[in-house]
Structure 1
């Protein structure tokens, strides 16, 4: 039986990673979990995000994955090492791939990072960037309005355009040449973000870079799927399935098999 790649996120954001894996590695089977019942993770305490991530991983291991991908920047920032210590399979996050891409593509060393409150508060991107280049200038901005809009499927409305301008419009004054989309939800808003920042700012999607890292690790470990049959992916979500399924099918461009999962835990608020 084919071992899947398990991908988890606080909601639909990790679908940006899943789509890239499907494009770059079409023979790989994906098991995806979106914790839509408890999104967003950004405002939550770190220990709560760690607990949620453990619960999802514990659920996903029943499928015998060959790799776990924490496709959530907030969870990567606070839970990656904890999950790695609990498993004997590769566990990767989305922060280091995005940082490496930004360092490789920036010509001025003026790099912006936008993300959730939890990701920005952790300083994980600044640390990753400065490990690669101690002289880099990093401007970080939390954008708490973005994830709820994406989870509602609200990608291009006037409300969303206003939220993007309000959240990052001031960043145009920093002479950035590169902006890391430090949340896997943000590629859903890439057109508006690009509109606000202008063509001189290169946008870095951690989703694209993470898919490349997945490919490299599986290749090095001799674990790439080699069968001719195209896999049937499985999707799970913890909240209302209708919106998740609609967004997933729109983003992935195909029908999906979706299974709702009920968590017996309180939501934020």
Structure 2
């Protein structure tokens, strides 16, 4: 599908003009519903159009400064036809997006991977918080009806901030990935010895330690695996180097005798075969993707915002990074042949607030 064809099919897709994201936006068009990526300058219009709402007025530089440095200016969109916003630092959140699409095939989604700043794991919490809130503000401005933080590092760094900023202030539900994984692990362990692997940021935050505190009868063992995200983002999910690194990271957990291992980063399910091989068949791997999709469903029902339209849903995937080929390859590989066509749309810059500018 050419850019002209895409614009004809989606008249709300136009050239960017407001200058917000300083990297390409990828447009993916597929067969399961409608897949597309829009220019950053009119992403709010596309999301609202998907929900059957009139386009937002164009935003100015003053709007953006106010939105990113205080609270979002966009009206919350609770129309049931609005898309579900899914956010990750890169491609790992596609595992959550895939689970949501599989379990909720009538829902539209708007996925943003902040590949310009990936990986989040080794970055200071203050920076992760700034990057995440900036992108989530943008999702809200685009008119999503729900936010899914499909990133363990971001969830551990600023979940409370997000719920205060969007749920309490605007009525937009926020779903995360840590509690769903913990629930699944508590159910599945047989010997009460559970391991968690994640990024340096996630493990260092003690977010999983806090979450498992509700199950004091379990023994918890955690391990940071910082290079795993690098492998996944490079499209490497097997090979001698990966197995050597995995053996190094996972040996302490094997020695601890765990029978259940939480993949505490949404990138890790994309290399689950290698992790399972190293850990052995007797260890159950727990991914938060399926359980998070259940949480999304429960939240939709609770708020009465399930999409009921008979029209095909709209699935939009965006990345803030500048590598079209890499992101396209990974999305196609992880989501399958439903993603068939990609356009690169030039856009502007995200103006991140100062570290002390976000309350």
User: Shared fold by TM > 0.5?
Assistant: yes
TM-aligned CA deviation for residue 228 of structure 1? 2.4
| Residues 263 and 156 of structure 1, relative CA distance in 2, 3 Å threshold | farther
| 8 Å CA contact 1:50, 1:75 repeated in 2 | yes
TM-aligned CA deviation for residue 202 of structure 1? 0.6
2:307 is aligned, of 221, 225, 228, to: 225
| 8 Å CA contact 1:34, 1:237 repeated in 2 | yes
1:76 is aligned, of 149, 152, 155, to: 155
Partner of residue 203, structure 1? 285
Higher RCO (C-alpha 8 Å, min separation 6): 2
2:208 is aligned, of 115, 119, 125, to: 125
Partner of residue 134, structure 2? 55
1:12 has 2:91 as partner: yes
The CA deviation string for residues 174-230 of structure 1, in whole angstroms up to 9 with x for no partner, is: 111110000000001100100011111110001111111101111122111122222
Partner of residue 115, structure 1? 198
In terms of fraction of residues, the more helix-rich structure is 1
Partner of residue 36, structure 1? 115
Report the 3-state secondary structure (helix = DSSP H, G, I; strand = E; otherwise coil) of the residue aligned with 1:114.
strand
| Residues 258 and 215 of structure 1, relative CA distance in 2, 3 Å threshold | farther
Report the 3-state secondary structure (helix = DSSP H, G, I; strand = E; otherwise coil) of the residue aligned with 1:3.
coil
Report the 3-state secondary structure (helix = DSSP H, G, I; strand = E; otherwise coil) of the residue aligned with 1:99.
helix
Report the 3-state secondary structure (helix = DSSP H, G, I; strand = E; otherwise coil) of the residue aligned with 2:226.
coil
Give the greater-gyration-radius structure (CA). 2
Aligned-partner Cα distance in 2 for 1:225–1:93: 21
Equivalences, count: 264
| Residues 113 and 263 of structure 1, relative CA distance in 2, 3 Å threshold | same
- Structure 1 unmatched ranges of 5 or more: none
TM-aligned CA deviation for residue 167 of structure 1? 1.4
